[in-house]
Structure 1
Amino acid sequence: MSGNYFVKRVGQAVLTFFATVTLTFVLYQMMPGGPAEALRNVILQQQMGSGNTIDPARIEQLVAQYTNLESDAPIYVQYYQYMSSVFLEQDLGESLYENTAVTTLLADRIPWSMLISVYAMVIGYTGSIVLGAVMAFKEKSRFDSVSSVVVIGLNSTPYYVAGILFIFFFSIRNEFFPTGGRVGLGVEAGFNVAFMQSIAHHAALPILSMSVLGLGAALTMRGNSVRVLGEDYLRVAELRGLRNSRIATQYVGRNAVLPMYTQFMIGIAGVLSSSVIVEQIFSYPGVGMLVYEAIQVRNYPVLMGSLIVFTLVTVVAILIADLTYGFIDPRISAGGDNE
């Protein structure tokens, strides 16, 4: 990998990140009843409920504190203030309702979302790779035909529909798994067996429903494997008398899985954003539920902070895929500046 390629990809990633954050900031500010107005309404509602009167100057101070913005400043000044607080001070503002820093809320919720999302993605893609390879080896067989129909059906089914069905059959009718939460009541938190079992028990259905997303890659793996099976180097390997297991793993599997690498990295980029609906269905308190609740009450600091984190994860994952693909497939790096 050349130095120019590295600098170019990193520059594109940084530009994409800043452009996305800038566009979202401008759209938020241009929306009717933007962040400052939403916070004023919250303060006024609390004031009416308590019967106390807050000085208007104090209200503006609170608006600036929670949003990192001067509400009466021009939008370019607000943009500079917000970006400075985010990138120089790592301050995403404070939630309008929890009276807690957005960074604290995200740091508390992100590990739980990563738990279910990463496991679901690994299970889904592993199953897809194995199933796709078997389908290719048994091309045009009954197993291949039935598996293709099943995979197409699963790929066409939204993961939240699968989640609802799982809750109905495994939680409501049979009570094998809980309907919500991330840890059972009364379970002592810590590095102990009971706590770990409770976490796995509550995360099983969300992981299972989200893993349906990855099964669609089985058809991609099948197509790649079928294409590889017709290559000349496989015939040479057979003539050399190599074992079928070695041909399947080192020749077919390794080359067929390469085109899925970028798709896998993009899947990593979506592990947080794809959890919004699943966590709402399973009442799983992760960052997805945090974003959903913020949308419901127009909690702009939380929404903006979550978007920055989602964008950062997406850009970094795609950048890693770009920079490492040449190591995974040497044929790409051999292209020099034309890759």
Structure 2
Amino acid sequence: MNYHAKRVGQAIVTLFAVITISFFMYRLLPGGPVEAMRQQLIQQALQNGGEVDTQRINQLVELYTGIQPDEPIWIQYLHYLRDVVVYQDFGRSIWKNKPVFQILFVAMPWSVFVSIYGLLLGFTTNVLLGALMAYREGSYLDKGMSLVATISTSVPYYVAAILMLSYLAFELGWFPTGGRYNSELTAPGFNAPFMISVVKHAALPILTGFVVGFGGGALAMRGNSLRILGKDYIRVARLRGLSQTRIATRYVTRNAILPMYTTLMVGIASIFSSSVIMEQIFNYPGVGWYTFGAIQNRDYPLLMGVMIFFTIITLLGVLIAEFTYGLIDPRAGTAEKESY
């Protein structure tokens, strides 16, 4: 219990540190976002032929950012902290003219859907393929799949995304070229046409996530399995006459998968980061798509909201990995208890 409380406390401190750093970067950098936003609003007023009203400009800055530029910096920080933590108010998007929280709340499930499915598909394939390669060490299967895995690891995810979009969507027409679902053919809801449309539109982003996670994981699983196969307790299990299936599932795979489990949880954050480019390529309006648009449109409130969102996802992945690792490896749970 003390271990869990300590880890949760560390995660909360980390989150507050990120919020604090992002605020002061946002507010104090010379020529930073707040000043850039002020200049942008002044230029818009001049282009529209109106006079520059400083008070009105400050009101607009406060509307979009939740920060009153004329207040002392520590008051601004406390107000910003209150808005984010208590009211989940990250400001208002300049680009979409909507609350940042509303944009992220709507976009998040779609990004989670394609990212998690792609990651789990790649992880499962890596575990099974890596174990099979280890058992067939030196065979044509092992050599061939090692070559494929090495090539797959060397291909950047955005290159794979562009190739799949060009060939599978534009050339063959098997998949849609963008969007989350076909709004012209079906209405959102739990109905077959809508669900089929969602799966078809998500297929290429999921496949790209699979390609990103494939290769390196299979080689890592192969190396872990070969290391386990050389252990004394595996030789003892064979001398006891245990079946190869039982040795593979209970002794080899279970131990070889342990180092990869934490990588899986932390990998959630990395695949969300890669979604910034991936969702833009597939025109898939998730968190990554909005992040790219925010960068193009200098939408600083939305960018800050995304930064906090990515931090929360990373911390949750790390916490889930630490809290559930003992279920896979009982020795870890014992060590945690003995350390307190």
TM range (shorter): over 0.9
Give the TM-score of the pair, scaled to structure 2: 0.93
Distance in 2, Cα, partners of 1:112 & 1:79: 32
Distance in 1, Cα, partners of 2:33 & 2:202: 34
Partner of 2:307: 307
1:99 aligns with 2:97: yes
Tell me if the contact between 2:181 and 2:194 (Cα under 8 Å) persists in the aligned partners: yes
Q: How does 1:272-311 map to 2 (within 5 A)?
A: 272-311=272-311
Partner of 1:218: 218
Distance in 2, Cα, partners of 1:257 & 1:114: 24
Q: How does 1:123-162 map to 2 (within 5 A)?
A: 123-162=121-160
Distance in 2, Cα, partners of 1:254 & 1:190: 40
Partner of 2:33: 35
Distance in 1, Cα, partners of 2:105 & 2:50: 34
Distance in 1, Cα, partners of 2:101 & 2:183: 27
Q: Write the deviation string for residues 221-245 of structure 1: whole angstroms up to 9, x where unpaired.
A: 1111111111222223223322221
The count of aligned residue pairs is: 337
1:164 aligns with 2:159: no
Tell me if the contact between 1:93 and 1:101 (Cα under 8 Å) persists in the aligned partners: yes
Q: Write the deviation string for residues 162-210 of structure 1: whole angstroms up to 9, x where unpaired.
A: 0011112112222221221111241222221111111111111111112
Partner of 1:227: 227
Distance in 1, Cα, partners of 2:246 & 2:237: 9
Q: Write the deviation string for residues 26-66 of structure 1: whole angstroms up to 9, x where unpaired.
A: 22223444333333344334434554556432221221122
Quick check: 145-154 or 7-16, which moved more? 7-16
Partner of 2:198: 199
Measured after TM superposition, the shift of residue 82 of structure 1 is 0.9
Distance in 2, Cα, partners of 1:327 & 1:152: 32
Tell me if the contact between 1:5 and 1:337 (Cα under 8 Å) persists in the aligned partners: no
Distance in 1, Cα, partners of 2:182 & 2:43: 35
1:241 aligns with 2:241: yes
Q: Write the deviation string for residues 135-163 of structure 1: whole angstroms up to 9, x where unpaired.
A: 10011222212211211111111111100
Tell me if the contact between 1:42 and 1:96 (Cα under 8 Å) persists in the aligned partners: no
Identical amino acids, percent of aligned pairs: 50
Distance in 1, Cα, partners of 2:226 & 2:119: 24
Tell me if the contact between 1:131 and 1:218 (Cα under 8 Å) persists in the aligned partners: yes
Partner of 1:78: 76
* Partner AA of 1:275 in structure 2: S
Give the TM-score of the pair, scaled to structure 1: 0.93
Tell me if the contact between 1:172 and 1:179 (Cα under 8 Å) persists in the aligned partners: yes
Tell me if the contact between 1:269 and 1:318 (Cα under 8 Å) persists in the aligned partners: no
Distance in 2, Cα, partners of 1:273 & 1:21: 18
Measured after TM superposition, the shift of residue 123 of structure 1 is 0.8
Partner of 2:10: 12
Which contiguous aligned blocks of 4+ residues in structure 1 show a shift greater than 6 angstroms?
Answer: none
1:324 aligns with 2:324: yes
* Partner AA of 1:44 in structure 2: I
Q: Secondary structure at the match of 1:274?
A: helix
Quick check: 52-61 or 275-284, which moved more? 52-61
* Partner AA of 2:87 in structure 1: E
Partner of 1:179: 177
Tell me if the contact between 1:182 and 1:284 (Cα under 8 Å) persists in the aligned partners: yes
Tell me if the contact between 2:95 and 2:297 (Cα under 8 Å) persists in the aligned partners: no
Tell me if the contact between 1:39 and 1:96 (Cα under 8 Å) persists in the aligned partners: no
Distance in 2, Cα, partners of 1:79 & 1:147: 54
Q: Secondary structure at the match of 2:273?
A: coil
Which consecutive residues of structure 1, in runs of 5 or more, have no partner in the other structure?
none
* Partner AA of 1:232 in structure 2: D
Quick check: 212-221 or 66-75, which moved more? 66-75
Distance in 2, Cα, partners of 1:271 & 1:108: 19
Tell me if the contact between 1:182 and 1:285 (Cα under 8 Å) persists in the aligned partners: yes
Q: Secondary structure at the match of 2:116?
A: helix
Quick check: 36-45 or 8-17, which moved more? 36-45
Quick check: 41-50 or 307-316, which moved more? 41-50
Quick check: 285-294 or 325-334, which moved more? 325-334
Tell me if the contact between 1:94 and 1:101 (Cα under 8 Å) persists in the aligned partners: yes
1:269 aligns with 2:264: no
